[in-house]
Structure 1
């Protein structure tokens, strides 16, 4: 289901109304976000548009202070405390999680920086950088590749699989951190939140624009409210869902030196059957199966039901100066393979 022309016009008017009041709404505790999208009932998306206020936990005394309409548009209150999803495993590995080492490298698999010994995220996709000597690069989140301690440095070694995903804790070193972006970037007269980073491949073959269980992708597209999407992550592997909102402003706890950042114009997704994502899936990409194109980069979800949130892929591309080609046969061959560290 996608929006009709009439619904698209209504959606845009509702976004304008939301933007007029969102600063005041976001200042209320325990509000964690606000957006325009499809109302959720009994765990599933309806076809009704509403201004959605996302709350952490029960609203308590705030309930009577929240509006039921904004500029005469309906308001829906939804419990959704979105959190970054790099996994702190403490050496415990999910029975379902994909913890394997891959050669060639491709999207949808376990990864983490070498300096992290007790966690994992997801290598979302192998992309191309737009500077010299960036033939193949790992794309994931800032909070996956750089962590949340403010200590990341260009050249930090990346492991696939993450060190905590093997029994001896060694790093299958295959890339070096190159650059990252966290915050909001102006794009087409709006601000878009980005939590993303790239690392240059240093070893193993790599499959450009290909994801485990999804296959070869045909470049990028734009997300839309109601669009069906899939993602392949390290923990929950292949899941499907529908886009609830493409205009959500969500508070993300990024860590020092950034603190809490309001990520503007984020994509929210509700799973078709059960959680769309879980801890360890951060960095996976949202794919529109109808066109087989990337539309978003996942960074977080709710603990209770696995509703998810991610960046518009167009903003990620602009922030990191990368490209995601339509590359059905694009393989980057390995240089000499380094040993484990």
Structure 2
């Protein structure tokens, strides 16, 4: 049996015991979470899976009443106690109290995932929820674009505590981008709160876009949403949020039970079957921070696996709802962006990088793309036979139904792409693969060449 298979088998053995005792454990003073994780001795991992009880502050055994001590084992499963401070991750600012340090307070005329958003209204808060009483504005992240299962309306996915904040919310609350914590003078709405859910598995909300509001089924800095997937332990993941922007990590648990204090009249809520994510510290010191709530967590193939809502104060972990639970609770489905199938076409999304035809591309065989390529406009890049240089053009496809390109722009079919590409009719799969092979490399070399030219 492989090491991964042995770990999965061990988790399956521990899981029913953990789920049977977690309610009793999490009610003990100071306990904030229960999970299946590696036991530590002297702060060092032992390689042994155990039921881990997370506490805000670990105390010597002699300072804990006997009835509150965590036993050394439960039904033959070893236990451990580790420290963890958990917090929700919205950004907030007292009105007229000054600026908050930010990384991306930018205005995005087209709604996409990974950007700042928040309620237009202010929320009155008082201690202990905030240092001083007053009217506050909140910010979080627009996670991804979704479609309402009942009406087909286009909506934006985020957290309950980003869009609703407290118990004073109502359907129809106006949302702005960027949030007023990022631009207090912003009075330009992009949509209204449609519904929200705060359950033992989901902290979610959806915002119905205003008529005529431009949108795109991408996460800025990452690319088109390819679909959804189920998170697994060890899975490499990424996210793009309003504060820490594009970060990387890995799923360390899909069994996390935690308590989070929502304050604001809501109080402490318990969540079960949550994702626990550790940052890849070689690429980013934290996976998330305040203001990143509402981000979608994606795998390396751009499939959404979770909806980020909380994290540890020291940045050691981030917590997310499994995405299918969030979608089902809210009655929506992810809208996917253009995904290359059969490597027959490239859909370009807005960015600062320009892709051009000619120059280095003229003498190259330009073929196969397996992911979206970034360029300044929605452009379809097609290639005639390899003996000729590629042709690029901008075109609004004459399809009426709304699609991932935005209102009034439907996606071209695979047949359209093949017809436009100049691929000989009846070509075999091997001939097609050979025809398109090398496309992405040529495009990326073109981008690199232009970037070097701009820097020169």
- TM-score (norm: length of structure 2): 0.65
- Please list the CA deviations of residues 97-132 of structure 1 after superposition, one character each: whole Å capped at 9, or x if unmatched: 210011211011100010135331111111111122
Rounded Cα–Cα distance in structure 2 between residues aligned with 1:215 and 1:44: 38
Counterpart for residue 296 of structure 2: 285
1:45 Cα deviation from its structure 2 partner: 8.2
Cα pair distance change 1:216/1:44, threshold 3 Å: farther
Q: CA deviation at 1:75?
A: 2.4
What residue is the counterpart of 1:319 in the other structure?
A: 329
Q: Does the Cα contact within 8 Å between 1:127 and 1:323 map onto a contact in 2?
A: yes
Is 1:123 the counterpart of 2:131? The answer is: no
2:181 corresponds in structure 1 to 164
- Residue 99 (structure 1) aligns with: 105
Contact 1:3/1:225, CA 8 A, preserved across alignment: no
Q: Which runs of 5+ in 1 are unaligned?
A: 185-192, 335-341
Kept after mapping to 2: 8 A contact 1:111/1:162:
yes
Structure-2 separation of matches of 1:228 and 1:63: 41
Deviates more, 1:316-325 or 1:57-66: 57-66
Q: Shift in Å at residue 12 of structure 1?
A: 1.2
* Higher helix residue share: 2
Partner of 2:305: 295
RCO higher in 1 or 2 (8 Å CA, sep ≥ 6)? 1
Alpha-carbon distance change, 40 to 170 in structure 1, aligned in 2, over 3 angstroms: farther
* Gap change, CA 1:122 and 1:48, over 3 Å in 2: farther
Aligned residues: 320
Return the alpha-carbon distance in structure 2 between the equivalents of residues 85 and 312 of structure 1: 17
Q: Kindly state the Cα deviation for residue 32 of structure 1 after the two structures are TM-superposed.
A: 0.4
CA distance in 2, matches of 1:326, 1:21: 40
In 2, distance between residues paired with 1:246 and 1:79?
A: 19
Residue in structure 1 matched with residue 117 of structure 2 by the alignment: 111
Quickly say closer, same or farther: Cα 1:30–1:123, change in 2 above 3 A: same
Pairwise CA RMSD = 2.5
Alpha-carbon deviation of 1:42?
10
- Which of the numbers 200, 203, 214 marks the counterpart of 1:205? 214
Secondary structure in 2 matching 1:332: coil
Aligned match of 1:190: none
The SS at the match of 2:150 is coil
Do the aligned partners of 1:38 and 1:244 also contact (CA within 8 Å) in 2? Answer: no
Shift of 1:305: 2.8
CA offset at residue 195 of structure 1?
0.3
Shift of 1:24: 1.4
Offset of residue 46 of structure 1: 8.3
Question: Post-superposition shift, 1:272?
Answer: 1.3
Distance 1:26 1:201 in 2: 39
Look up the match of 1:72.
76
Query: Which residue does the alignment assign to 1:4?
Result: 4
Q: Distance in 1 between matches of 2:312 and 2:42?
A: 16
Equivalent position of 2:171 in the other structure:
154
Going from structure 1 to structure 2, the CA distance change for 1:282 and 1:163 (only over 3 Å counts) comes to same
Alpha carbons 1:278, 1:306 under 8 Å: kept = no
Structure 2: gaps spanning 5 or more residues? 123-135, 339-346, 348-403, 409-456
* Residue in structure 2 matching 1:145, options 142, 145, 163: 163
Distance 1:293 1:7, change over 3 A: same
Task: Give 2:89's aligned residue.
Answer: 85
